């Protein structure tokens, strides 16, 4: 808060409040930023001119729908939204994939609750390996 000292009035000095906004520091900061951006902007631009050839790669096929196995804290297993158990996991997973997809090349995503027992998780991993599903991805929650 600024104060203004005035010699008029009763006492030797009388203080009054100054309600004006001092914009000088704001303008100074903005001018410094403007200079920084004016200097940095030409460095970000590519100055070498190149004529790029057209891309002739054939369009890629859409990847197959990913398969998720979910493990709840109580040990319940789900393939996508369908409940299964550990003994039927391999067979139900093959049904879900269909005949056209190779289990050895298929990536299986495992979603497990943070309170799942390690033994339950390892049981699922071992059952996947016993049924030739070797590519496994673990799904976690991103902190962002």
Strands 67-71 and 107-112: parallel
> From CA 63, how far away is CA 92, in angstroms rounded?
21
> From CA 27, how far away is CA 29, in angstroms rounded?
5
What pLDDT, on a 0 to 100 scale, did the predictor assign at position 50? 66
> From CA 118, how far away is CA 85, in angstroms rounded?
16
User: Taking Cα atoms as reference points, which of 91, 66, 67 lies closest to residue 79?
Assistant: 67
Q: What band does 77 get if pLDDT is binned at 50, 70 and 90?
A: very high
Whether 124 and 69 have beta carbons less than 8 Å apart is answered as yes
- Mean pLDDT confidence for 26-38: 93
Q: What band does 29 get if pLDDT is binned at 50, 70 and 90?
A: very high
Higher-confidence residue of 11 and 65: namely 65
Chain segment 34-74, per-residue pLDDT in tens = 999 888 887 766 666 666 677 777 776 766 788 888 999 88
pTM listed for this prediction: 0.54
User: What does each C-alpha distance from 14 to 22, 51, 143 come to in angstroms?
Assistant: 22, 74, 57
């Amino acid at each position: 808060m600024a104060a203004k000292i005035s010699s008029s009035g009763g006492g030797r000095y009388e203080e009054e409040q100054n309600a004006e906004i001092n914009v000088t520091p704001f303008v100074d900061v903005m001018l410094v930023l403007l200079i920084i951006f004016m200097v940095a902007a030409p460095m970000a631009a590519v100055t070498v001119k190149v004529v790029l050839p057209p891309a002739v790669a054939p369009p890629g096929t859409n990847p197959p729908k990913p398969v998720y196995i979910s493990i709840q804290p109580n040990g319940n297993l789900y393939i996508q939204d369908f409940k299964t158990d550990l003994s039927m996991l391999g067979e139900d997973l093959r049904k879900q994939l269909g005949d056209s997809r190779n289990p050895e090349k298929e990536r299986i995503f495992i979603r497990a609750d943070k309170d799942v027992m390690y033994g339950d998780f390892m049981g699922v991993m071992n059952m996947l390996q016993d049924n030739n599903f070797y590519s496994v991805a673990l799904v976690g929650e991103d902190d962002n």
